[in-house]
Structure 1
Amino acid sequence: MGPIGIFDSGYGGLTVFREIVSKLPQYDYVYLGDNARVPYGTRSFETVYAYTKECVEKLFAMDCRLVVLACNTASAKALRTIQQCDLPLYADLRRVLGVIRPTTEVIGQYSHTRHVGILATPGTVKSGSYPLEIEKFFPDINVYQQACPLWVPLVENNELDSPGAAYFVEREINRLLKQSDQIDTIVLACTHYPLLLPLIERFLPAHIHLLSQGGLVANSLTDYLHRHPDVENLCTTGGTIRFFTTDNAADFEEKAGIFYGKPVKATELKTLLI
């Protein structure tokens, strides 16, 4: 038995993590941010898989038997390979979940026109994961994607209120909406983007439903644990939370509070294999 592991390439996964803790405060958690090698979005499938696998194994070594990839890029480029090729090699029960499926399996409940937009990093867009997953659940939905390469740097450099942020947020939203005038639902398919929510809502038509992943993932994890008591029984309950980063702990703590909504205390992991 052990804590639930939460992994992200950096800070964005904290927006998902805080929703999970809010929904399921009774469990113990370990959060690991691979800040030393961020960003993942511009890296190859092979590199993202190698980095993600290493961090998942680090969480396994901390007794986490259930790990959530709170990162769209890792979920898009590494999750399937880890689930199909790596987990079967373990003799005991281990599970790794992502953030894409919890979003795509409910998207049909929100869209009436069946035209859905995706705002994401270039890596997530290039992977095609959202159109593929949405088609599995709702083959009648038309999906339109727009890469937002500058949104993550704007968030991580705390430029949320700058004129540049307003310009690039408006530009990418307009580019997405030009693809179809029937879009009625948009998914923020990057865990950094909730911090841009006020700007995004400023430039988004009022009739469009905006979905952020944190609450959806928290609800999905709750349902998953109810449906899989064998996994739930491996998760310790004590309400403890530990934060780890592969980079400088003080630097992580300075920015992490912005994403998590409260101050955090982190420990640096000094061993990286790659």
Structure 2
Amino acid sequence: MSAGQSIGIFDSGYGGLTVFKSIAKKLPQYNYIYLGDNARSPYGDHSFETVYQYTLECVEWLFAQGCPLVILACNTASAKALRSIQQRVLPVKYPNHRVLGVIRPTAEVIGNFTESKTIGILGTRGTINSESYLIEINKLFPEINVHQQSCPMWVPLVENNEHLDPGADYFVEKYINEIMAKDERIDCLLLACTHYPLLIPKIRTFLADGTVTLLGQGDIVADSLSKYLQKHPEITQKLGQDAKRNFYTSGDQVFFDKHASIFFGSDVSSRHVSHNSSQL
């Protein structure tokens, strides 16, 4: 591989753009390719095998575009596909490529955000059922009590830009009440889905006393990536530093661009990638 290549960022839809936004702010010099698999989103209720297959197809597409490093900016993909790709695929087919996720970096710092040693995890059914956070946090912080809550309606609300509408109140309040009822000592809620930061204003209205920390993942992943690149010059030296941003979606471009700008914080102009061709 030659210098001038890009960091790939993958998500099942729009949520990964909240992570990309933080990464681009922290590391603006690098070239990036973002791929949202909107045509098959959301991933949260799919089986492990289906998520693995979808994720692998997208990762391999990003490899083909010249990305030696891919970030799975999707908790479901990180929970259901990352380890298999790292252990089964990369050593055999792509020994010089790397794929990183969002769960491990978050688990590594979660202990810094709780005084009561009691946290709540809010995520998709897929992420919650995988118990990936329980496993990783227990390895690093066995003293922390972890409670989980799946929030299956939150991604559809965000994807359809209805997350701040009055109609979203019922589902936001429902899941917040359910997780907080599990332990009164919870002082940190991890938003273990990259869509959820857009719900923070609404979530805060149902956390009346303001003593609970809402923890998003964008800045955490950006800091982790920065440290990773410092430790791995063999990857860094391959990367172009022209600050290029390229966006791709397997869904409708116009619809994607309209909604993606909300997540990314600035205008987005994407290109379409079809599942029905050799492109993906």
Under TM normalisation by the shorter chain, which class is it? over 0.9
Could you tell me how far 1:54 is from its partner in structure 2?
Answer: 0.4
- 1:254 and 2:258 aligned: yes
Match of 1:66 among 69, 72, 75: 69
Give the residue type in structure 2 aligned to 1:62.
Q
Query: What residue in structure 2 maps to residue 159 of structure 1?
Result: 162
- Map 1:3-152; keep pairs closer than 5 Å: 3-90=6-93, 92-152=95-155
Structure 2 residue 228 is matched with structure 1 residue 221: no
Q: Number of residues paired by the alignment? A: 274
% identical equivalent positions = 56
Distance 1:22 1:48 in 2: 29
How far apart are residue 271 of structure 1 and its match?
4.1
Calculate the TM-score normalised by the size of structure 1: 0.97
Q: What aligned pairs does 1:226-237 form with structure 2 within 5 A after superposition? A: 226-237=230-241
Amino acid at match of 1:95: R
Q: What is the root-mean-square deviation in Å for CA atoms of aligned residues?
A: 1.2
CA distance in 2, matches of 1:138, 1:96: 24
CA contact (8 A) 1:66 1:235 kept: no
Structure 1 gaps of 5+ residues are: none
SS for the counterpart of 1:203 is coil
- How far 1:90 moved relative to its partner? 3.0
- Aligned partners of 1:188, 1:145: CA distance in 2, in Å? 11
Q: Distance in 1 between matches of 2:138 and 2:232?
A: 25
Q: Residues 172-191 of structure 1: matches in 2 within 5 Å? A: 172-191=175-194
Q: Deviations along 1:139-190, whole A, 9 cap, x unmatched?
A: 1111000111111111112112322211211111110011101111110001
Aligned partner of 1:121: which letter? T
* TM-score, length-scaled by structure 2: 0.95
Is contact 2:164-2:199 (8 Å) kept?
A: no
CA displacement at 1:115 relative to structure 2: 0.5
